[in-house]
A and B are shown apart, each in its own frame.
Chain A
Amino acid sequence: MKRQSIYPHILSYMICLFFLTPANAAISKEAPADSKTITIKGSTTILPIAQIMAEEFMDKNKDISISVQGGGSGVGIASLIDKTADIADSSRKISPKELEQAKGSGVTPYENIIAMDGIAVVVHPSNIKNHFNTHQLRAVYTGKVSNWLEIGGENRKIVVISRDTSSGTYEAFANLALSGQKVRPDALITASNQTVNTTVAQTPGAIGYLGLGYVSKKVKAVRINNIECTKDTIRSGKYPLSRPLYMYTDGIPEGTVRRFIDYILSGQGQELVETEGFVGIRIQVYKNPDRDDK
């Protein structure tokens, strides 16, 4: 048997490559104009949605690459403003201060509501209290009330569980339930939705809050202002502690970004939203926060 050296082959490949390279370079140079890459940054609440959407979208469009990062709503919006992200995930509305900064750097944040999120208030299953009004909830969380007896429960100390002050859930809860008042300083601070579940499930006197999608069977979600925390009440906005989740883009989404957002808002995309534990909206809302000012 005659052994053939493989070197000539390698050499010929290299020669081919050499001639092909300029052509490749020319193609890749055109790419940024059509933007085959999307960078998404922001809220850790929206992170699971963004991730699964990116995976599915990339599966369907092999030529597009999407990078998804967390960091928090503030970080996301800041990245949109300094143009290091194409989409900013945010679990809150953009603030007037941020809008001002955006104007300064020539960015027009465009609001796309992609899903609804509900914050459930949970207590230990053995707790006899099944419902709160917003006034009671605020009294508990701001420190005016410290015993369940004072709001129609058993004689037991209330163990108030909150989230770290940087989390999106905390921010939303503080806005929706406390109307911006400070959480009592002796509230326990937990670093994740899961920890809230575990701690409340272990502690008879505990009260906590977390995203509807995270409520486990070991804790009891209570009614707020006599409205149960369900998908329907969250979608309609009836439930007091519900909030929209946003993806901000620079101007009305175009090109690949537009296709991605449209995918999220499609029936299939909204189904994925629900499998991730959030509430789908199915309605495309294009609303410019800039126009609200006028």
Chain B
Amino acid sequence: MTENAEKIIEMINVTREYFDTVAVENMNLYIRKGEFVTLLGPSGCGKTTTLRMIAGFEMPTSGKIFLNGKDITHLPPYLRPVNTVFQRYALFPHMNVFDNIAYGLRQKRVAVTYRDEKGREFTRLEKLSHDEIAKKVEKALKMVELEGFERRAIHTLSGGQQQRVAIARAIVNEPQILLLDEPLGALDLKMRKEMQFELKQMHRKLGITFIYVTHDQEEALTMSDTVVVMNDGVIQQIGTPEDIYNQPKNVFVANFIGESNIFSGTMVGKLKVKFAGATFDCVDDFPKNEKVDVVVRPEDIILTEEGEGQLSGKVIDSIFKGIHYEMTVIAGKTEILVQSTQEWPVGSFVGIKVDPENIHIMKKEFYENKFDGYITKRNTVVFGDGEYECDVTQLYPGSTLDDDGYLVLEGGERIDLTDNDVKVTVGLKDIDLADGEEGGGAVGEIISCIYKGDHYQVIVRTRENEEDYVVDTDYLWNEGDIVSVSIDKSKIKMKLKEEAKGKK
């Protein structure tokens, strides 16, 4: 891959919606010729939908897809110079290995130029000859190291062998792009490692573009030239495996790729960040007093003798993992995950050191929750799919509520607040979650739970309008849990919207 190689695939503002869900949202992505690109993300993040749109099995709801600069958004799959290796192989069960691989070649028509008696040239679309097909199939089988399997029935093959046939069936057509949809998901670990290596070699040999879909971050990092991390139908980060690992753009990427310690921190000076109760030198420049997220990889934390390093803590857990020990160290209230080849026994007191270049600082994503809401007849406020008790007097300084529910301003004027639009902010720590549907305002599902050193950061998404609540909590929640949200009356901060203010 060279930096200025031409773009083979370009997706512009591509959105794919199903009845009520958005699988891919406003995606902009280009892929260079010859690249090995991996779409990486948890299940349901839209990576497979993206692949299926490139293959032509699904059409974008809006947006355009270009192949070599030509618009292929609505081109049917059989006219695209693209072939797919399916997750469950999708080999034709009633055909043998040879016929499976030859299937694509038999559909092909090539233009052959002839010269008639008078010397005029004309071209005809012709099928490939039997010999040509046999030769190509043989070559493809050799490529996947299955020589001699031509006559075997599909159901007599092992999973790994079926996988190889599926790859041969795709590459025999010499596609410009090979699409692979989690092709190694069904194989056991050893087989998977072997196929990873072989696929990488094949990519080098064939020189065509590979677009690979996986949820396995290790697979993505070892195989790809470029990794596209996706979540919730949105691209989170595009970069080389090194970039993605060392410079994650946000908490999601840091958490999804490899293991990491994620701390809430504050910039306390030029290139100085405070987290986990201590101040560290760092190399990322952020404004002073900015709240930030700090990512430190477990292998970048150095344990030393007590008293050395920036922090001190106590080892509370240690697991032998083969190549290293994985230890949990508690420093004050903060738990820190450490990987080291040297073991410190459980119970020992240690010093903790982190080199400045290993501290990765990201702009804090969720500093507070912001919602648009309105006031009801009962002087409660509705926002984020829930109704909450609130203190409406904060909307007008010095005002009070009278017995009839009218707001009495400082000057004595009585106003009705019903249906007034307000902007609501709620702190991350001010939201309480409870199991089940009862007990609060909005009801939603936990869609993410990320450990932040001394607390969990949870995102609750409501069902009706998919409003997100970001909550800092001491308790571990599981993704998929249904919870109800409650917020103390005094913690709901409201401001009248500008236009609403004018109407008064």
On whether the two chains bind one another, the answer is: no
